[in-house]
Structures are given as C-alpha cells and as structure tokens.
C-alpha cells in the first residue's frame, strides 16, 4: 500500500520526524536542490505539508502544491503561514494550541518575577564578587501589583490565573471585550499601559499587531513599570524598546521573543535591566512532546475524517 506523500518544510523534533516517516512518505524540502525546480516537477504529488510556526508556509509554497489538502503546524503561532490562501483553497490548517499554555505561562511569570526582583542580575553580581563589596540594591515587589495583559486569549488567561496567586490586580486589552472574563477591560492599549505596573504581551503576531507596543506606549508605561513579552517579537518596536531601556523610560523588560531570532541586538544584550531568554517558553520535554503528538494527530484526523483535530481560526 502506497503511503501518503508528506512534504516537510523545516526541521522538527527528531521523534516527530521519525513518527511521520513511519506513517507517511516523508520528503524533507530542504534536501531538494534547487527547491524551485523540485516543486515545479513534483509539487503536484503532495497532499499534505508539515511545518513549524517559525518556518511556516508561504503563498509561493502553497501555490506550488496544487494537490495540497492539509497543513499541520508545530506551534501555536501561524503568522508565518498564509492561512488566507490555504482557506481559500479549502486546505485544512492544523496547529498546536492549548498543550503549551502552562509552560508559556510559567515562563511569563518567571520573566516577570526575574525582571522585577532582578534575580538574574543579582546572580551575576554575586558571581563577580560584588557582594563582598556591598549588598545588592533594593528591587521591586511583585505581589499585589497591577498586571496589564495585552491579548487575553488561552495563554493570557493562564497567565492571569498564575498572577492571581500573587494577589495581582488584572486588567486586559483585546481587539474586543470578552464579557465572560472576570477581569476589567481597558479600551485601548495606551490606557492599559498607563494603568499597570507590568505590561504582559501575550497577543498573536502578524501584521495587525506589528509594533503596537511603540515608543508612545512605552512612555505611557513609565519609569517604574516593566514590559514582558512571550508573544512575538514583532509586537514590540524593538529599537524603541532598546532606547526606552537605555534611557530609563521604563524600568525593565523580560523578553523571550525578538524581531530577528536568533539575532538579538548587542545593545539589548548589554542592558542589565533586561532579562533575555532564547525563545524557550514552551521548551520542556513534556510540552514539546504534546505538541508533536498534536501535529501527528492533526494529520491523522484529516485523513480519517476530512478535518484536522485543531484548526486555526478562519482568516478575516
């Protein structure tokens, strides 16, 4: 029995690649050179595509696969996938939300606590022998402070539950208010920034949210407040953030995502009031395996029922 031909755009977890190879006729696109010629000659053979949130699937790639019926994305983000083109062609697009909520929320709270209490900075202080000379400076309390969440979706709501354990007051801003949520709604991102002690970016990426956290928003946040980003690097104007950190416009930032990963600007890396993580919010053995399982299940569900298990929302 012939296996279904599955095109893989970008590397995935080794165990996922092995599982896919056992079930499908798996073809790694990056091994085909030149890729354009390969797609022109054999693109019509593939009914399925697997990719990651980072690598995605461009308009050009989707159009080069005329028989494509399903795309399975490893990740909660899908802004690198041309979902609109896929849905116009009735191509199912699956992704892996929910299974990474807890680990991303844990990371978000870890960044928040670290940048306020300066644990990473104080670790460096101790290792450099500075404690022998003087106590580490006082830092900022977390418990009881005001947390503004920009993007109160699945992950944002999980962060809010974590923050409630620290007795934090929570408000949020989305494109529209959700009456089912127990938190106060701020009608603009600017008003949320003015109100909060910590601004948490947990929104989706893409053109609609690009650079919404601008120099003006950072000024609204103010010199005693902090910015945390576990969403997408594109949400923040990174150059404006660097200048704000250098000039004391805001107190500090905790970042897991950047504009041009893994290229983090040297000016940002030099700043002691920034806690910088290498995009590891969901990077635990348990969560990555759950994501891999859902990538596999999305494909299997499509070929059994004609629908992926978890589909991306319909494009506007």
**64-113, pLDDT tens digit by residue?**
999 999 999 999 989 899 999 999 999 999 999 999 999 999 999 999 99
Residue 315 token pair: 């494009």
**286-307, pLDDT tens digit by residue?**
999 999 999 999 999 999 999 9
Please report where in the chains the tokens 């494909």 appear, as a residue. 299
The residue annotated as part of the active site, out of 261, 270, 286, 307, is: 261
Rounded to whole angstroms, how far apart are CA atoms 73 and 291? 9
> Taking 90 as the threshold, does the pLDDT of residue 267 lie above it?
yes
Share of the chain above pLDDT 70, in %: 99
Q: What pLDDT was estimated at residue 126?
A: 98
Confidence bin at 187 (pLDDT 50/70/90): very high
Distance, CA of 87 to chain centre: 22
> Taking 60 as the threshold, does the pLDDT of residue 316 lie above it?
no
The residue annotated as part of the active site, out of 162, 171, 173, 232, is: 232
Report DSSP letters for 213-264, one per residue: B-HHHHHHH-TT-EEEE-S-GGGB-HHHHHHHHHHTSSSEEEES--TTTT--
Please report where in the chains the tokens 């977390």 appear, as a residue. 142
DSSP helix, strand, coil percent of the chain (3-state; round to 5): 40, 15, 40
Angstrom CA distances, 215 to 230, 253, 257, stand at: 19, 14, 18
Q: Is 232 a catalytic residue?
A: yes
Sign of CA dihedral 142, 148, 154, 157: positive
Specify the CATH architecture of the domain 5-97+286-305. Answer: 3-Layer(aba) Sandwich (3.40)
Task: Identify whether the C-beta of residue 235 lies closer than 8 Å to the C-beta of residue 211.
Answer: yes
Distance, CA of 223 to chain centre: 26
Q: Is 270 a catalytic residue?
A: no
C-beta pairs of 261-269 under 8 Å, 24+ apart in sequence: 261/54, 261/233, 265/238, 267/242, 268/238, 268/241, 268/242
Q: What CATH homologous superfamily does 101-276 map to?
A: NAD(P)-binding Rossmann-like Domain (3.40.50.720)
Q: Is 168 helix (H, G, I), strand (E, B) or coil?
A: coil
| Per-domain boundaries in the chain | 5-97+286-305, 101-276
Confidence bin at 315 (pLDDT 50/70/90): low
């Amino acid at each position: 029995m012939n296996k279904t031909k599955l095109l893989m755009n970008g590397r995935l977890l080794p165990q996922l690649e092995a599982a896919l190879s056992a079930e499908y006729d798996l073809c790694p696109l990056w091994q085909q050179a030149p890729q354009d010629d390969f797609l022109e000659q054999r693109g019509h053979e593939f009914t399925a595509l697997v990719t990651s949130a980072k690598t995605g699937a461009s308009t050009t790639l989707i159009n080069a696969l005329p028989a494509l019926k399903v795309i399975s994305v490893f990740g909660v983000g899908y802004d690198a996938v041309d979902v609109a083109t896929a849905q116009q062609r009735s191509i199912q697009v699956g992704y892996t939300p929910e299974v990474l909520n807890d680990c991303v929320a844990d990371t978000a709270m870890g960044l928040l606590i670290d940048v306020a209490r300066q644990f990473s900075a104080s670790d460096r202080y101790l290792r450099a022998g500075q404690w022998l000379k003087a106590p580490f400076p006082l830092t900022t309390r977390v418990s009881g402070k005001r947390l503004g969440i920009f993007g109160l979706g699945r992950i944002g709501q999980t962060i809010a539950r974590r923050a409630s354990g620290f007795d934090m007051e929570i408000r949020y801003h989305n494109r529209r208010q959700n009456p089912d949520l127990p938190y106060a709604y701020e009608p603009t991102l600017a008003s949320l920034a003015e109100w909060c002690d910590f601004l948490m970016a947990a929104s989706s990426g893409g053109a609609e949210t690009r650079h919404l956290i601008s120099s003006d928003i950072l000024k609204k946040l103010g010199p005693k407040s902090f910015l945390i980003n576990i969403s997408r690097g594109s949400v923040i104007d990174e150059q404006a953030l660097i200048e704000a950190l250098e000039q004391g416009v805001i107190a500090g930032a905790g970042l897991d995502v950047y504009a041009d990963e893994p290229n983090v600007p040297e000016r940002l890396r030099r700043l002691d009031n920034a806690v910088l993580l290498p995009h590891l919010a969901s990077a635990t053995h348990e969560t990555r395996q759950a994501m891999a399982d859902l990538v596999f299940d999305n494909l299997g569900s499509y070929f059994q029922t004609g629908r992926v298990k978890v589909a991306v929302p319909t494009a506007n």
